[in-house]
Amino acid sequence: MPDMNIYIPMSRKLYDNVIRFSDGKLDPAAIAEDLLINWIGSELEFGDGAKYFCSHIEDVINEYAPHLRNKIIHNDDKIEKKAHEDRKPLVWKNVSILSGSDVRMAYGGTHHYAKILGGFIVDSNGKQYSPSEWAAHVAGGTSRNAWRDLWFREPLSKTWIPAQLLRDQAANELAGGSYGKSIASIDDLD
């Protein structure tokens, strides 16, 4: 069976210039494929390959980086532990926010952004904060009400949800509020 190919859009000008400037010695498609394979190997060796490839990491190693197998397998426990730690949600009182969620706060006419990672809010410098610590950090060290000021967006969602609403929903569920009652009433129909 012949190798199946897919085609990745590339500007015609870039493609033509690579061919023209190399006098036909370079193939842009082959270069793109080599770069992607090298990137995979680099992420596995030096980056956080577990973050991208998760449970398929062994298949990725076998397919694209067999030369790294011994080195990566030797560090497998460390990689798995880090991947597991990175997937921990932020648990804040009765609210649990998925790892990978975005967090934002408006202060001084600007929106400030960070990410939920490993059970913490992590800013662009990699520093870890609790919600109240991050709110104070954004506000230049002044005390802030993080429940009022923080908004969260789960991975793959477009909707920002205020922390206060998340807290109210969690309290309602714990108190057996309308959410719990509506599920019970559906069960009563059987």
Please write the tens of the pLDDT for every residue from 78-91.
656 666 666 789 99
pLDDT confidence of 44, banded at 50, 70, 90? confident
Statement: the pTM of the whole predicted model exceeds 0.75: no
SS (H, E, C) the chain: CCCCCCCCCCCHHHHHHHHHHCCCCCCHHHHHHHHHHHHHHHHHHCCCHHHHHHHHHHHHHHHHCHHHHHHHHHCHHHHHHHHHHHCCCEEECCEEECCCCEEEEEECCEEEEEEEECCEEECCCCCEECHHHHHHHHCCCCCCCHHHHEEEECCCCCCCEEHHHHHHHHHHHHCCCHHHHHHHHHHHCC
